[in-house]
């Protein structure tokens, strides 16, 4: 937000690189507070460039805003390549394979499932919300309309 404001106003404080290219992804991070290692596929494959772009968007529109609200956001699962997704039994059209979905490590975040779901619902960009019996929560950036599902 701050960066966009600076671009519009031509303020002198320059955070972005030459020619206004975005800062992220860089060698280690998708955004200020989220490392590539947190969001990349757990199988160790190389994340394609278009997927990396999606992961940057996930950070900008979901993870960073959520972090501002609740302080701590811990990712359990982000991008999954098709073979890894199949291996763990993920849905065939999983948003994780596009780098548009996050499963949260809710216990590590110290927030109840109900509260986390409520906070995620307040973030406009999140149009897919999954609520799982094991306490897990999923959020993704699919196109509207918003879908909320529960496997209880």
CB nearer Zn ion, residue 3 or residue 132: 132
Give me the 125-144 binding string for Zn ion, x by CB under 5 A, dash otherwise. Answer: -------------x------
DSSP the chain: -HHHHHHHHT-S---S-GGG----S-SSEEETTEEHHHHS-TT-PPPPHHHHHHHHHHIIIIIHHHHHHHS---EEE----HHHHHHTT--TT-GGGGT-EEEE-HHHHT--HHHHHHHHHT-TT--EEEE-TTS-EEEE-PPSSPEEEE--
79 forms part of the interface with Zn ion (CB under 5 A): no
**By the rule CB under 5 A, 43 interacts with Zn ion:** yes
Smallest separation (angstroms) from Zn ion to the CB of 34 = 16
Among residues 39, 41, 62, 137, which is the contact residue for Zn ion, using CB under 5 A? 41
Exactly one of 81, 117, 120, 126 binds Zn ion (CB under 5 A); which one?
81
How many of the chain's residues bind Zn ion (CB under 5 A)?
A: 8
Contacting positions for Zn ion (CB under 5 A): 41, 43, 45, 81, 84, 101, 103, 138
């Amino acid at each position: 937000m701050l960066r966009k404001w600076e671009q519009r106003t031509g303020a002198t404080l320059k955070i972005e690189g030459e020619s206004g290219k975005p800062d992220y992804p860089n060698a280690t991070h998708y955004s200020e507070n989220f490392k590539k290692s947190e969001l990349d596929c757990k199988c160790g494959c190389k994340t394609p460039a278009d997927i990396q772009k999606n992961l940057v968007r996930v950070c900008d529109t979901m993870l960073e805003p959520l972090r501002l609200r609740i302080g701590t956001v811990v990712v359990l699962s982000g991008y999954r390549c098709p073979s890894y997704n199949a291996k763990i039994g993920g849905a065939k059209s999983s948003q994780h394979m596009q780098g548009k979905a996050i499963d949260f490590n809710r216990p590590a975040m110290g927030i109840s499932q109900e509260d986390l779901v409520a906070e995620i619902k307040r973030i406009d960009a999140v149009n897919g919300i999954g609520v799982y019996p094991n306490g897990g929560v999923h959020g993704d950036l699919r196109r509207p309309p918003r879908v909320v599902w529960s496997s209880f």
